[in-house]
């Protein structure tokens, strides 16, 4: 009997050891509450980061900063047109190496959502479709159309097979836990009628037939098939999303727009950190378990990759700016939100929700698992008025339009409106090592019709002509006039009128530049009109027609057109002359582009002449060299005095610039352009600029970029930092002895605080980089800030009244006090 008991004990012990060390189940499932990854329910905090919008050398740092921001999931598209630019020819090299990118995400311990599209929108050229797809006979994009679905399936299968081959799906031990087919199709579905509905069903079945080991999603697809999760895109999905279209699907938010992409001519686009945090907290309070920030890092549209009129800089207002620097307080305020929600994880994933509507604006949402876990969200929906709410016998102050999170239903650890993390401001500083640029130039020859081999009676359509191989195409014609055809009065000139379907053009008469015209993102067509000097005899009219990216959205994208369509000369003695069908010569691209004057070898093919004074020539190439700037900060090139064109460094395209297109504020939409340090050598870096209409390179400046201006703006009613608490099992405890609010500041990159630029305790106002003293201010504000912070990498400034003023000398004892400080960081030496 004793032996039997001993044997039984050994068996039980063996089973316990086996269970303890058994691998977690691999795979991804879901139900109406959440995603379940490898057997564990998950709260997912995701960010969109696109591999082709930065060089591979930046990938590890950007992903690391996303992880430090509390993300556990990265979302990316797969970009068809970069991977298959020519039918049947594939490219997965350099910053197109999507496999390497996904493996780097996995190396850092994050999951992946793979949006294979193949339509992606993304403000990307032709929505990700390669140009050759447009020329497939009888094709209709994004419809139940035999040519389209054939090529869509073939491409999708290639992507899925690549991921399976590299074992990147979660059931294979990889990081991919979700995949997306199509993109926001409800926006255009009605345009395709029955073929739209059939296409949705076909796309869903095609995707799951290729791989069914992870869930498939369709964003903004309210009629998604039963085996596909429909998800929300927008700014306030807690209020706009009616929920998934099935009881066993979780509530997922696949695009939470952190600002708005910008097109040339747009004013700045902004979205406050407080607004993003408010929307996310409300979504999780309403059974949401995934939010994805679109974009978390936007990056740069290098080369000709952006869609129509979209700027080279992409989502610079994201938590990580274009240069990969923390945009504060957006980055850290969202990091703190993720921590607050994780402290509430057990209640959110296993608790039962109840909602108490206090009044029209105030509501209390409780997630409670009886006897163990409780988390509460106290919400004030009023946009201007704060409120006080009583919850479980205690009063809680709620700022306007805010959510307070109580992971134990008692303690406010986070409020969406009260930012306890630091702020910063971006600075562009002229490089000392890369100053004094010496420029050379080469001017393109304006061609005549006799020099252009491709002839047609009327101007050819621009998209079809260029086939997306260049932004440029020359059009030229010639016409003879007798002196009696031309106006006799010296104060009257003929007018050249060009009606164009977009996007821009530069016009030349007899080789002389006469002007520039363009449309915009809303109205791409335009009419160009300029007085011209014509002569008796043969006159040449040449047009450099330009695209600024292909369209990326809407129905029937394959049926969009661009370029000159009607050309007339007005004011002749016989009236208006229509020269649209006058016989035109055509040529795709400009000479310097074909000869690659931006490359080291190409630059040797022409004779460059020094720029010795003011210059303003159209269709002109400029070249200079510079040393790699000092330090390790990111780099930019300032182009505010140029007009429109393209830039290259050491043969790498920096993208399009367009400084002459002013926003309604009278400023260029963008005039600083990112130069990745990965593009540079220590010395003899070559910067080449192609200027289309006439700018002056003398004022081009190489700059270093930093966020060494740091600030804190904090009130007496701000809660302590969320890092003051942690959860261990069912226990929720403070991990600091003194739970007090204060201003916490840290310099980036081990720098130290070298100067206190502003300090005010009272009622200061403004934003980081532009703080001002209000009507109440403690005289000791600067002294306290200097004592606490100077010479340190990080510091905390308390916000206790007795530190700043004796009670009898308080200049404003009856107001809520605010502390605002601004510091300048610098290197230790």
Question: Active-site residue numbers?
Answer: 184, 255
- CB 514 within 8 Å of CB 534: no
Give phi and psi for 742, each to the nearest 5.
180, 170
Q: What is the DSSP letter of 320?
A: B
Question: What's the CA gap between 704 and 560, in Å, rounded?
Answer: 41
Short-list 488, 120, 501, 455, CA closest to 306? 120
Question: What's the CA gap between 413 and 741, in Å, rounded?
Answer: 11
Give how far the C-alpha of residue 671 lies from the chain's centroid of Cα atoms, to the nearest Å.
17
Give how far the C-alpha of residue 152 lies from the chain's centroid of Cα atoms, to the nearest Å.
26
Short-list 345, 373, 289, 368, CA closest to 30? 289
Give phi and psi for 139, each to the nearest 5.
-85, 145
Give phi and psi for 565, each to the nearest 5.
-125, -25
State the DSSP string of 229-279. EEEEEES-HHHH----SSTTS-EEEEEEESS---BTTPPP----HHHHHHH
- CB 562 within 8 Å of CB 502: yes
Question: What's the CA gap between 771 and 244, in Å, rounded?
Answer: 45
The C-alpha torsion from 505 through 437 and 640 to 424, rounded to 10°, is: 140
With vertex at residue 421, the alpha carbon angle to CA 415 and CA 423, rounded to the nearest 5 degrees, is: 125
β-strands 526-531, 537-546: how paired?
unpaired
Short-list 663, 817, 823, CA closest to 328? 823
Question: What's the CA gap between 163 and 478, in Å, rounded?
Answer: 56
- CB 231 within 8 Å of CB 249: no
Q: How many Cβ atoms from other residues are within 10 Å of residue 168's Cβ?
A: 21
- CB 502 within 8 Å of CB 480: no
β-strands 44-49, 40-42: how paired?
unpaired
Alpha carbon of 684 to those of 429, 433, 434, 633, 651: distances in Å?
21, 12, 10, 19, 13
Question: What's the CA gap between 756 and 784, in Å, rounded?
Answer: 10
Short-list 788, 787, 784, 796, CA closest to 746? 796
The sign of the dihedral angle between the CA atoms of 694, 696, 697, 701 is negative
């Amino acid at each position: 009997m004793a032996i039997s008991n001993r044997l039984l004990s050994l068996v039980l012990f063996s089973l316990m050891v086996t269970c303890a060390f058994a691998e977690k189940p691999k795979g991804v499932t879901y139900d109406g509450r959440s995603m379940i990854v490898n057997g564990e329910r998950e709260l997912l905090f995701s960010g969109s980061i696109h591999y082709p919008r930065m060089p591979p050398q930046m990938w590890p740092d950007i992903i690391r900063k996303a992880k430090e921001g509390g993300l556990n999931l990265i979302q990316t598209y797969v970009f068809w047109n970069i991977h298959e630019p020519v039918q049947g020819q594939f490219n997965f090299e350099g910053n197109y190496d999507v496999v390497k990118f996904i493996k780097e995400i996995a190396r850092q311990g994050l999951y992946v959502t793979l949006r294979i599209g193949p339509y992606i929108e993304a403000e990307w050229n032709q929505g990700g479709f390669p140009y050759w797809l447009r020329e497939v006979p009888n094709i209709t994009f994004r419809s139940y159309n035999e040519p389209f679905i054939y090529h869509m399936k073939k491409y999708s299968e290639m992507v899925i097979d690549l991921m399976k081959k590299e074992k990147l799906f979660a059931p294979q031990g990889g990081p991919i836990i979700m995949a997306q087919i199509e993109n926001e199709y409800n926006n255009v579905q009605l345009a395709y009628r029955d073929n739209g509905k059939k296409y949705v069903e076909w796309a869903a079945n095609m995707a799951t037939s290729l791989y069914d080991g992870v869930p498939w999603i369709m964003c903004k697809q309210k009629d998604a098939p039963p085996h596909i999760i429909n998800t929300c895109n927008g700014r306030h999905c807690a209020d706009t999303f009616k929920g998934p279209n099935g009881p066993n699907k979780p509530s997922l938010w696949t695009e939470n727009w952190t600002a708005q992409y910008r097109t040339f001519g747009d004013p700045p686009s902004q979205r406050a950190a407080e607004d993003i945090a408010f929307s996310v907290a409300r979504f999780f309070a309403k059974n949401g378990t995934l939010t994805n920030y679109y974009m978390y890092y936007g990056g740069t549209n290098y080369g000709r990759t952006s869609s129509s009129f979209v700027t080279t800089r992409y989502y610079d207002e994201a938590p990580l700016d274009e240069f990969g620097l923390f945009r504060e307080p957006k980055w850290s305020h969202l990091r703190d939100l993720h921590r607050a929600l994780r402290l509430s994880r057990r209640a959110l994933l296993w608790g039962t929700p109840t909602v108490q509507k206090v009044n029209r604006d105030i509501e209390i949402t409780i997630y409670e698992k009886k006897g163990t876990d409780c988390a509460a969200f106290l919400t004030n929906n009023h946009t201007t008025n704060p409120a006080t709410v009583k919850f479980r016998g205690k009063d809680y102050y709620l700022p306007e339009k805010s959510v307070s999170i109580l992971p134990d239903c008692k303690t406010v650890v986070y409020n969406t409106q009260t930012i306890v993390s630091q702020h910063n401001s971006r600075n562009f500083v002229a490089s000392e090592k890369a100053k004094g640029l010496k420029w050379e130039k080469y001017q393109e020859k304006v061609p005549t019709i006799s020099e252009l081999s491709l002839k047609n009676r009327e101007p050819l359509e621009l998209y079809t002509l260029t086939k997306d191989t260049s932004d440029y195409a020359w059009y030229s014609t010639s016409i003879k006039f007798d002196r009696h055809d031309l106006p006799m009065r010296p104060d009257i000139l003929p007018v050249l009128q060009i009606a164009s379907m977009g996007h821009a053009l530069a016009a030349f008469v007899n080789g002389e530049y006469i002007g520039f015209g363009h449309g915009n993102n809303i109205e791409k067509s335009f009419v160009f009109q300029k007085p011209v000097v014509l002569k008796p005899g043969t006159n040449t009219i040449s047009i450099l027609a330009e695209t600024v990216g292909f369209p990326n959205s809407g129905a029937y994208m394959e049926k969009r057109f661009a370029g000159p369509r009607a050309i007339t000369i007005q004011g002749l003695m016989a009236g208006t002359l229509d020269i649209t069908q006058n016989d035109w010569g055509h040529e795709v691209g400009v000479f310097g582009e074909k000869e690659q004057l931006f490359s080291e070898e190409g630059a040797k093919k022409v004779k460059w002449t020094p720029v010795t004074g003011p210059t303003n020539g159209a269709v002109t190439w400029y070249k200079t060299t510079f040393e790699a700037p000092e330090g390790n900060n990111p780099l930019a090139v300032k182009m505010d005095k140029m007009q429109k064109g393209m830039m290259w460094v050491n043969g790498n395209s920096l993208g399009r610039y367009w400084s002459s297109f002013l926003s309604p504020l009278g400023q260029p939409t963008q005039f600083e352009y990112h130069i990745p340090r990965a593009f540079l050598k220590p010395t003899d870096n070559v910067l080449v600029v192609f200027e289309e209409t006439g700018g002056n390179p003398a004022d081009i400046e190489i700059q270093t970029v930093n966020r060494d201006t740091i600030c804190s703006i904090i009130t007496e009613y701000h809660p302590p930092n969320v890092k003051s608490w942690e959860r261990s099992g069912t226990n929720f405890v403070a991990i600091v002895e003194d739970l007090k609010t204060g201003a916490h500041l840290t310099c980036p990159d081990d720098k130290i605080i070298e100067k206190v630029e502003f300090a005010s305790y009272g009622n200061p106002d403004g934003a980081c980089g532009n703080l001002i003293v209000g009507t109440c201010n403690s005289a000791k504000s600067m002294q306290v800030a200097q004592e606490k912070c100077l010479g340190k990498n990080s510091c905390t400034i308390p916000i206790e009244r007795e530190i700043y003023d004796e009670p009898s000398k308080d200049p404003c004892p009856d107001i809520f006090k605010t502390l605002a400080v601004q510091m300048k960081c610098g290197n230790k030496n």
